Each structure stands twice: as structure tokens, then as C-alpha cells.
Amino acid sequence: MGRRGPVIWVFLMCCIFGQIIVSHNNGFVEAKRFSKFDDLEIAKRLKAMNKPAVNIIKTIDGESYGCVDFFKQPAFDHPSMKNPANLYKMRQLWEGMRNQTNDGEFGYLWENGVGCPIGTVPIQRVTKEDLLRLDSLDDNHKPRGSWNTTNGDPSSPMYYDQHHYAVARTKYTGRKFHGATMELCITAPTVKPRQYSATRIHMQIGKEFIQVGLTVNPVLYKDHQPRTFVYTYVHGKSCYNSYCTTGMSVVRRDFPLGTAIKPVSVRGANMTYYGTFRLVQDNKYGIWWFQYGKKALDVGIWPDYWFDQSYGNLIEWGGEVYSAYQPSPQMGYGYFPVESVRYDAYMQHISVLDSNFNIDRNVSYLEDSSDATRGYKVIDSTDPKHEGGHVIFYGGPGNI
């Protein structure tokens, strides 16, 4: 009997450890199964994003884009596009403007000097690595407006896991807007991994919104260059550029959305380089257009029936940063503004399309808003001494 106790104890321990080993093995098997499932899901999503292309072309920076039939780009997988009336409307629109987007204005951005063939549009090819990076963009990392953002509690460990703004914005006055424009000074603020620093127009359309502008976002673009971006938030779903069904529909065959904008302006230098952005709604179809460059060339569209209301109700211009940790990144040149076009990051020729689709270049009803003045500031100016009309100066070192 003296020996039976230890024997039983050893037997029980073997059973327990055996169960643990079996459990671990089962867990390992399940993990492999989930891995295979994930691989299949990723392959399915990549197929949906990388639509069949007439050919693959590269930008002068070596980035690959597929030349995809206009009606086969990802946005046409949106459920609303299955409605025959909506699809007919898009066909009418495309037939009316397809020849207007074939002027080769941005051909210099491509290795072939032209862009895509007529009837197709460039959609950036997405790799598994790209998709995994995109999936790492949780909701905190995604753009938003400043109106529903609070300063937070600095003593909270989550205080630095947030967005900061230095913007000029419209007030809650019940105004209706059908467009906004800006000509911005191109800057390349310093950011670290899991951060971004953007300069953009934000158009709030009820509960939904669109942003257009430039961003330095190494998670989105895997480098630290200022690149064009559009961001769409519709019915609880969001999308960068034209990567998914709620993204912008591209209409130009020669504009690589997401391209790096060069050269970059240098603080204190005599020469400043600009990018001109317009987000406007047409009076005929109600469709929202992204237009780029001095000539306001059409780049992409959002159908009006995606949105719950037919006008924008709030607009803001300026900088937005995000950081998952402290210190927060630079905005603009990384310096506080002093109201100087030579030393500040700024956007000029600010204007809106009002409720009657008339251009308002005064926009005299804006308010300055910076939620973290220790790191970022903004100056909204309509001083006649500025040749750029209505000018918004912004920026800051961050480090908060």
C-alpha cells in the first residue's frame, strides 16, 4: 500500500500531461487550420482588389498598377452598383466624360510616358504584405474629423493613442456646402512607425465623410514620402483610395492615386511647391468629384446615392496626425506657424461651393481649432497682404 500511492500519483500526472500535450497538439492542428483558412481568405480578398487587368504598368518610382476596365474596378462591387438605375447613371456619366480624361496630362508619372489604355483606369496592385499592413490599420489609426474629438485625460495611459488637429473649420451654422478647395504647400513631416501626418480637406456629409490631400503614412504606403490619398467613410465602412468597394471610382487613365508628390518644399527657401486639391459636387448628377492640379482635372468620383444627404454640412482644412505612442509626430514643417509663407506650412486659395453652387473665396465664418496647442497650432488669415487669398497656416513639432 505504501507504494500504491506514488504509482497512482505518477499515473495521474501522466494522464494530465498527456491531456495537456494532446490539447497543445489539437491547438496546433487548429492553428494550422486557421492559418490555411486565413490564407484562403487573403487570396480571395487579393483577387477582389487586384481586378483582371489589360496590362500592368509601372510609375517612374517602380510601383505597379493594373489597367482595369472602368466598370470592373473595386467600387463597382458595391451593392448599390447592382441597381440597374444606378449602373445606367454611371454609364451615362462615363460616356459623357471618358474622352475628357484622355489628355495625357499626367503621363510623365509613368515609365511608358502615357498611363493606361483608353477605357481603362490605373488601380494599384496589392500584395499580401500590403494587405496585412492595411489590416493592421485599426479604427484608431484611421482618419476622422475634429468635431467629435476631445482633449482626453493626459493622465490616462491611452491619452497618446489618439489623433491631434490644427485646422480651420466651419461652425455648426446650418450651412450647406457642395465643395471645397485648397492649394497646399508640400511638406514631408517626420513620422515614426504606427504614426501618420496628413494635410487634407475634410468634407462631412451627415454621418459620413470624405478626405482628400497628402499624407506621410508608412503603414499605408511603406515609406516616408508625402503621397496623395483619398479616404471615404460611408455607412460605417471605410476605405483608402480605391482599394475596396466603398472607395473612390477612378476616372483618369494617367493619374496614379497614392503617388508620391515631388519636389517637396523647403522651409525658408525662396521656392515653394504646391498641390491643388478640389472636392466638389456637380449640380447635374449630384456626384462628388476629386479634382487635382492647377487645371482642376477630374481624377475620381463618389456616387451621390452612397450618402444619406445631398450636401456637405461641415468642412475643415488643415493638419491631422495620429500616433499610437508618444511622442506624437511633426505636422507641416515641424514648427509652430508665425503667419509667414516662407517659414510656415500653409494652404492658400481656400474656397467653398455654397448652397447655390456659387464659389465663395472669402469663407469668413471659420474658426481655428487645435486640440493640443503644446504640439500644434493654426492661424486662419484673410489678411490682404497674403497673395494667396484666404490662407491657413498650421504646423508644429508634436512631441506631446
Domains, the chain, in order of start with CATH, read 156-395 (2.60.120)
Type of residue found at 267 = R
The predicted pLDDT at position 149 comes to 57
400 confidence band (pLDDT: 50, 70, 90): confident
Which carries the bigger pLDDT value, residue 4 or residue 165? Answer: 165
pLDDT digit string, tens, across residues 124-137: 999 999 999 988 88
Buried b (16+ CB within 10 A) or exposed e, 353-383: bbeeeeebeebeebeebbbbeebbbbbbbee
Longest dimension (CA), the chain: 103
- State the cell numbers at 168: 480651420
The predicted pLDDT at position 148 comes to 64
288-292 and 274-281 beta bridge pairing: antiparallel
The predicted pLDDT at position 127 comes to 95
Q: What is the mean pLDDT of the chain?
A: 88
156 confidence band (pLDDT: 50, 70, 90): very low
The predicted pLDDT at position 104 comes to 82
2: pLDDT strictly greater than 70: no
The helix/strand/coil state of 48 is helix
The predicted pLDDT at position 11 comes to 44
Q: Helices in the chain by DSSP H: which ranges? A: 4-49, 84-97, 128-135, 218-221
Count other Cβ atoms within 10 Å, centred on residue 87: 14
Full-model pTM: 0.88
The predicted pLDDT at position 35 comes to 58
Q: How far is CA 91 from the centre of its chain?
A: 27
| Residue found by looking up cell 506621410 in the block | 216
Sequential DSSP letters for 304-365: GGGSSSSSB-EEEEEEEEEESSSSPPPBTTSS---S-TTTSEEEEEEEEE-TTS-EES--TT
| Residue found by looking up cell 483558412 in the block | 37
Count other Cβ atoms within 10 Å, centred on residue 301: 21
Whole-number percent of the chain with pLDDT over 70: 86
158: pLDDT strictly greater than 50: no
